[in-house]
Amino acid sequence: MSQIHKHDIPVNIADRCLINPEQYHEKYQQSLSSPDAFWGEQGHILDWIKPYQKVKNTSFAPGNVSIKWYEDGTLNLAANCLDRHLAERGNETAIIWEGDDASQSKHITYKALHRDVCRFANVLLERGIKKGDVVAIYMPMVPEAAVAMLACARIGAIHSVIFGGFSPEAVAGRIVDSSSKLVITADEGLRAGRGIPLKKNVDEALKNPNVNTVSNVIVLKRTGGNIDWHEGRDLWWSDLIEKASDQHQPEEMNAEDPLFILYTSGSTGKPKGVLHTTGGYLVYAATTFKYVFDYHPGDIYWCTADVGWVTGHSYLLYGPLACGATTLMFEGVPNWPTPARMCQVVDKHQVNILYTAPTAIRALMAEGDKAIEGTDRSSLRILGSVGEPINPEAWEWYWKKIGNEKCPVMDTWWQTETGGFMITPMPGATELKAGSATRPFFGVQPALVDNEGNPQEGATEGNLVIVDSWPGQARTLFGDHERFEQTYFSTFKNMYFSGDGARRDEDGYYWITGRVDDVLNVSGHRLGTAEIESALVSHPKIAEAAVVGIPHNIKGQAIYAYVTLNHGEEPSPELYADVRNWVRKEIGPLATPDVLHWTDSLPKTRSGKIMRRILRKIAAGDTSNLGDTSTLADPGVVDKLLEEKQAIAMPS
């Protein structure tokens, strides 16, 4: 691979950081040797109604997987995110909302957010929603989505947020699995100037004969677009909230009471309802937010994720609000209406901390300097990356162009199931290597094991497991604890298996190599697809790449690469040869792609993740059952790829 780029801790960060290298090592050792004492202390980041005496009570034992933290303590999440801040920062901004249309933005104070959450909590109670009931939220990126989530937490209802891009079928499946009693939606969403028919999708979902638990649909008027109305079932948000009292006492919740369900795709097709509980989750979200982003009071923080994903839960809303931060909520997309939109938002709101995804970074990188045109981004202090491993070239571009070579990049590895960051740098504590998630967060014990579960020591690679629990860990899969054990604890006994592979270097830094099913075996050699993709996108003419393995008579697997070129570049036989030689030079002859499939677009979910399952099937010619494609942002991409594939000569 290319030479590894190391980055020292910047002086301006070192001078005022919350954690320096010595403190990191000291605290990390303490968190492993005395987890009860360490997490008992960290628990004080929250206000408790009844303080906890017990801290950790967990087991990863086969047939007895049980995860409990702070189990005898009581608290309320909404009170920790709102009420406790009112005296000191009630008039400070909790949420900055930036609309899809740049002319629309607003600042919502902690006091105003608290008032709206209390009102909506009373609305939910009036509709018969009580502690333990499930409420489905299918909303655009508007402040009311945050109000709905916090109001559920305030009364002890469990929210199930469904990303606004999901199809009616996906919405119905999640409502049925969770037995949701109420749906909260909007007439339409807005994204890159286009309307998204949310209410229409809910209407379709509720026609499903298996949906029989929903009593009401509360509808926010976002665009004023035409919608069908079901009298008696459908209710306008504005009518309800106008009449509601703004006085509400938060429900006292046990730390282990369920907080939310978030569905994540399962390898078997049926989505998994990951269940998080109240106390441990919020301690972990707040603690990780504070240390990983080196949060100081007054910082303006922007996480570009949608509330429909775990990143939106932990690091757009709950982590920042628990810390009393100002969090920016963005309805639009980073490169619309101009490639510089993301940087324009940074300048407009003087953002100090920016947390976004490699997909967005690569899309901007393909635009070159147009992505930063007319902006200075001088307010930025910390950058972050989330969602997938970031290739070193995109990391360096992000650091250099967006961050003006002065903002450390927090490359965070974690999952829906982990609740918060697991392997991540900290700005003042970690020297960075472009493309590495670096070291574990406090209390996190990663290990690399071979396929038999034997620990691999030193500089090595293997399956990434976590050997003990942490407070933010998911407790179960909703209604299916057996599947929870089977999915995460059966492959390697007494360990949580992430499903990812990783490499550990001589400095103890972790490099995520991608899903284990994204590791190729070429002539007996293991090659991570992330590594080959990284080499491909480091080519000056390539914008994006996705690599899969296809069966090969001699080598076991051949390397099939889908490649999207930068704007203005055209495929040619010369470029084909050049790209193959480039990868050979970057990694070695073994990694040379056998097939380059030029394409304008890749099949992505609405959160921006590439659907490799579909790419594997297309490459292998196994198109009889492509599985569920309802989560694709543009299902038409699949037909285009199939058509392109017919013209490709396959290796023998």
pLDDT in tens, 521-552: 787 666 778 879 988 999 999 999 999 999 88
Mean pLDDT of 330-348: 97
Q: Please answer whether residues 113 and 147 qualify as being in contact, where contact means their C-beta atoms are separated by less than 8 angstroms.
A: yes
Q: Is residue 410 part of a domain?
A: no
Q: Is residue 377 part of a domain?
A: no
Q: Is residue 490 part of a domain?
A: no
Closest CA to 293 of 413, 404, 382, 380: 382
pTM over 0.85: yes
Spell 522-539 as b/e; 16+ CB within 10 A means b. beeeebbbbbbbbbbbbb
Of the chain, the percentage scoring pLDDT greater than 70 comes to 98
Q: Is residue 210 part of a domain?
A: yes
Taking 80 as the threshold, does the pLDDT of residue 269 lie above it? no
Give the tokens for residue 74: 């009581």
Q: Please answer whether residues 88 and 104 qualify as being in contact, where contact means their C-beta atoms are separated by less than 8 angstroms.
A: no
Q: Which residue has the higher pLDDT, 528 or 470?
A: 470
Would you place residue 268 in the very low, low, confident or very high pLDDT band (cuts 50, 70, 90)? Answer: very low
Would you place residue 267 in the very low, low, confident or very high pLDDT band (cuts 50, 70, 90)? Answer: very low
**Contacts with 577 (C-beta within 8 Å, 6 or more apart), sequence order:** none
Would you place residue 287 in the very low, low, confident or very high pLDDT band (cuts 50, 70, 90)? Answer: very high
Q: What are the φ and ψ backbone dihedral angles of 219, each rounded to 5 degrees?
A: -120, 120
Mean pLDDT of 17-34: 98
- CA distances to 529, 575, 590, 595 from 526, rounded to whole Å, are 10, 27, 10, 18
510-526 pLDDT, tens digit per residue, is: 999 887 877 787 876 66
Longest dimension (CA), the chain: 72
Q: Is residue 276 part of a domain?
A: no
Report the SS3 class of residue 422: coil
Among the candidates 227, 250, 273, a domain finishes at: 250
Mean pLDDT of 79-90: 99
- Residue 452 forms beta bridges with which residues? none
Q: Is the dihedral of CA 317, 302, 93, 192 positive or negative?
A: negative
The structural domain count of the chain equals: 2
Mean pLDDT of 203-232: 98
* Least confident piece of the model among 21-30, 429-438, 485-494, 516-525: 516-525
362-390 pLDDT, tens digit per residue, is: 889 989 999 999 999 999 999 999 988 88
**Secondary structure in 3-state letters for 437-453:** CECECCCCCEEEECCCC
Taking 80 as the threshold, does the pLDDT of residue 652 lie above it? no
Among the candidates 250, 269, 292, a domain finishes at: 250
In CATH, what number is assigned to the domain containing residue 613? 3.30.300.30
545-577 pLDDT, tens digit per residue, is: 999 999 887 777 899 999 999 999 999 999 999
pLDDT value for 344: 99
Of the chain, the end-to-end C-alpha distance in Å amounts to 28
In CATH, what number is assigned to the domain containing residue 103? 3.40.50.12780
Mean pLDDT of 603-624: 87
pLDDT value for 454: 96
Mean pLDDT of 2-13: 88
Closest CA to 650 of 528, 533, 550: 550
Mean pLDDT of 168-194: 95
**Secondary structure in 3-state letters for 65-129:** EEEEECCCCEECHHHHHCHHHHHHHCCCEEEEEECCCCCCEEEEEHHHHHHHHHHHHHHHHHCCC
**Secondary structure in 3-state letters for 525-563:** EEEEHHHHHHHHHCCCCEEEEEEEEEEECCCEEEEEEEE
Q: How far apart, in whole angstroms, are the C-alpha atoms of residue 471 and residue 257?
A: 14
Q: Which residue has the higher pLDDT, 306 or 359?
A: 306
- Residue 432 forms beta bridges with which residues? 7
Q: Is residue 167 part of a domain?
A: yes
Q: What share of the chain is helix, strand, coil (3-state, %, to 5)?
A: 35, 25, 40
Among the candidates 234, 250, 266, a domain finishes at: 250
291-325 pLDDT, tens digit per residue, is: 999 999 999 999 999 999 999 999 999 999 999 99
433-449 pLDDT, tens digit per residue, is: 999 999 999 999 999 99
Q: Is residue 476 part of a domain?
A: no
* Alpha helix stretches (DSSP H) within 251-390: 279-292, 310-311, 319-322, 341-349, 358-365
Residue given tokens 């939109």 in the structure block: 341
Q: Is the peptide bond before 337 cis (omega within 30 degrees of 0)?
A: yes
Q: How far apart, in whole angstroms, are the C-alpha atoms of residue 146 and residue 321?
A: 11
Residue 261 host element (H or E): strand 258-264
143-152 pLDDT, tens digit per residue, is: 999 999 999 9
pLDDT value for 624: 77
- Residue 136 forms beta bridges with which residues? 160, 183
| Domain range enclosing 222 | 86-250
Q: How far apart, in whole angstroms, are the C-alpha atoms of residue 184 and residue 138?
A: 6
Mean pLDDT of 497-516: 93
Q: Which residue has the higher pLDDT, 248 or 309?
A: 248
Q: How far apart, in whole angstroms, are the C-alpha atoms of residue 124 and residue 491?
A: 42
Q: Which residue has the higher pLDDT, 107 or 170?
A: 107
Q: How far apart, in whole angstroms, are the C-alpha atoms of residue 368 and residue 385?
A: 19
**Rg (Cα) of the chain, in Å, rounded?**
24
Q: What are the φ and ψ backbone dihedral angles of 505, each rounded to 5 degrees?
A: -90, -175
* Least confident piece of the model among 270-279, 406-415, 517-526: 517-526
Q: Please answer whether residues 290 and 299 qualify as being in contact, where contact means their C-beta atoms are separated by less than 8 angstroms.
A: no
Q: Please answer whether residues 262 and 160 qualify as being in contact, where contact means their C-beta atoms are separated by less than 8 angstroms.
A: yes
- Residue 264 forms beta bridges with which residues? 272
Closest CA to 263 of 309, 217, 304: 309
Report the SS3 class of residue 413: strand
Q: Is residue 424 part of a domain?
A: no
